Chains A and B, each alone.
Chain A
């Protein structure tokens, strides 16, 4: 059990590619930190530096009280779970789990005891004499976990450990890993590109983009107070609608649409006053938009009138696409290259009777709107 301190760490690969820029991150003792970001943003690179599989180009890396920049992986007191599990195909489950202990010359009896204990925890007791090829995907995943926990390391490092599982199993293993981590209290860095995984598993979530750390915070704070357009769009599904807008006398003009901002908005975001008369980026989460015909009466200046383009009924909600006559803003996620001509998205209550082609009044929860600088793409607060 140990905290991890990553202090202004850079990674430049031998080919000159600068993969990580001045990463600063503190993971507390026993914390579950999720590192999330689009493909190629440097998550694995960061994790592999902590593991010791990649050299740190500059900066300090500390596990516990110890600077580990030049410490061999095996001496860092870490265990790692790989995306494709990296089980040893020629060894039984028992030998796979016990391999590290065997190398560490732990007495045979002790190995057997700890392997059995880990197997029990992971419900693998029946599989101990099988080879990895004879296991299901979920069981292999568990063996990989077993290999990590049997060593009782100070730190778990996991690189997209669930991405090879089908959706249902993924949800199940998600809960299982969280439970196990809490039970063992081992400091964990968990890498994923799935924001749902990040939000549901992490005590805190660090969002990475192009090798730059965007924001670290609890899942709720990331959702409520994204620091910039990228984080705003990355967290939440469907993604936040981001449009250019103009602020004129407490009136927010989004194309031909107009919303009235109450004084409370400016109290919470004093800096917004300085944007009077300027163009900004406004973010509307799909869940903050509702069919006005079922919300009951709403104050004037809190609705948008548009035409429904498409509805997708999910049973628990209806996803409604509609057009806004204003430029969309590209948050810059390479994984979800925005079609900037596409429509805005709302999540309506299933009672909504709206249909494609019909005009619709959409009630906006004004208090929950997000505002960003149009050039810097940073959140406007105080």
Chain B
């Protein structure tokens, strides 16, 4: 190993430690005997895996997972559809004012999402969907659009124009070109976007907390808020429930890690 490789590796090892230690601490805490207050990272001599079962039952997670899943199902496919249609339109069709629209989307990327929570609350209230899952679903679809549209547009822009022209000469109208040529070609971009949107939806916390009072209608992460105030002193149980909530995202990450790193790289290159 040369010197020039040593430093980056060292930095990466540090970063890995920084990310891994909190997680391992959480995991170790979740395996302690119930009722203790674990301090720091200390692997229990006798890990209690049954804590997870207990946590699952105490937190009544089945409806929460269901609720999260419903929200994901409501958000991700619709977001993908709208983002790819809009991205395709902005990238490939001649639309008057397309440049301005793109600018608006890019501006949307720069707005911190926290600043939108209050307006969103009132908007959902006026739509009459407050305290239903629709509140979170609609809000998230809207919030994801700047990124989603921008992401899909970057993809469609990278497709050589000649492919569209070949399709046009072959007799495809804009819709046929979209469904039969461009959408199939966009699969990698769509997969990456789907994964990102899934993670962001699943981990959505504050929006669910603000827009829905009933914890059983929230995302799991959002429901944790309610759980926390109830069981705040039972750190071990809290930790095991947290691990359970994280589990699906970790599984998704492991399953799709290739697409995931590709997605991040794509973002880095196309910025």
Residues of A within 8 A of B (CB): 51-53, 73-74, 78-80, 82-84, 86-90, 99-100, 103-104, 147
Contact = CB atoms under 8 A, between A and B. Distances in A.
A84 B169 contact: no
Interface in B56-94: none
B171 A104 contact: yes
A311 B171 CA distance: 55
A142 B163 CA distance: 17
B168 A100 contact: no
Given A80-B166, A86-B163, A88-B163, 12 more contacts: A52-B169, A53-B165, A79-B169, A82-B165, A84-B160, A86-B165, A88-B166, A88-B167, A88-B181, A103-B171, A104-B171, A147-B170
A147 B176 CA distance: 18
Interface string B174-188: 001000110011010
B172 interface: yes
A99 B176 CA distance: 11
Contacts of A84: 160, 162
A53 B171 CA distance: 12
Interface of B: 160, 162-163, 165-172, 176, 180-181, 184-185, 187
13 contacts: A53-B168, A53-B169, A73-B168, A84-B160, A86-B162, A88-B163, A88-B185, A90-B181, A90-B185, A90-B187, A99-B180, A100-B170, A104-B171
A83 B167 CA distance: 15
A89 to B, nearest CB: 6
B169 A51 contact: yes
B168 A86 contact: no
A222 B187 CA distance: 51
Given A53-B165, A80-B166, A86 B160 contact: yes
B166 A86 contact: yes
B184 A74 contact: no
A80 B165 CA distance: 9
Contacts of B163: 86, 88
Contacts of A100: 169-171
Query: When A and B form their complex, which 4 residue pairs have the shortest distance between CB atoms, in order from nearest?
Result: A86-B162, A74-B171, A100-B170, A86-B166
A294 B165 CA distance: 57
Given A89-B185, A90-B184, A90-B185, A82 B170 contact: no
Contacts of A103: 170-172, 176
B194 to A, nearest CB: 18
B165 A74 contact: no
Contact of A82 (B166, B171, B187): B166
B178 to A, nearest CB: 13
A80 B168 CA distance: 10
A50 to B, nearest CB: 11
Nearest to A100: B170
A73 B187 CA distance: 28
